[in-house]
Amino acid sequence: MLVNALGVLLALSLWTPDIAWAQAPSTSAQAPRRLLAFGDSLTAGYGLAPEDTFPVKLQARLRADGFKVTVANGGFSGDTTAGGLARVKWVLADRPQYALIEFGANDALRGLDPQLARANLIKILDRMKADGVRALLIGMHAPANWGPDYAKAFDAIYPDLAKQYNVPLYPFFLEGVAFNPALNQPDGLHPNAGGVDVIVARIAPDVEKLLRTKPARP
């Protein structure tokens, strides 16, 4: 997957996107549903024009498919699962009804203990559940350079937690994009605009299934 990239991580810029919802109509019956895309640089849109980021393109796809939804960009470049946990209270202050949870790539690239990543994701899921946010967990794969034991422990985190919390799982965020130079930026880590198109096309049915569930809060 994202291999031989530890040096690149040191160069990643830290960009904090504003989390802002579109102006909602005056009545709750007309208000768009609020979906938070919560993750690292893959969500934030590192190296991309604003209109080419995952949250923007996902929102356009969902609306084209008839879903009245606003997607907020809660991505932060360079974040590990620990960084996501540190920000979860802040991003939930905007009261999303649904969330996509995309963390783990930076943990795996740095060879951090998979058990720490698991513990951080558990706390994020606990907070989402306590706040009545319906979540879709998005998986990542460990790079091969840490060895098979590490990869086995890391990759198991996502299906295990999806089952434990009874939340839907999208197994691999970069499915169809990883290792394809035509769909990635020169660093080999981050999708280009065409790569984002592939990700959105693949994940949209899972997100739409999530949005068909009744929100737990208005």
Active-site residue, 13 included? no
Q: Which of 52, 131, 160, 187 is catalytic?
A: 187
197 close to 183: Cβ distance less than 8 angstroms: no
Q: Which of 77, 79, 141, 190 is catalytic?
A: 190
Active-site residue, 131 included? no
> Which residues contact residue 39 at a Cβ distance below 8 angstroms, ignoring those fewer than 6 apart?
74, 75, 76, 79, 84, 100, 101, 102, 103, 138
As a whole number of angstroms, the distance between CA 17 and CA 198 comes to: 23
Which two structure tokens, joined as six digits, stand for 134?
A: 């319906």
Which two structure tokens, joined as six digits, stand for 102?
A: 């995309």
Active-site residue, 190 included? yes
Q: Which of 41, 77, 141, 155 is catalytic?
A: 41
Annotated active-site positions, please? Answer: 41, 187, 190
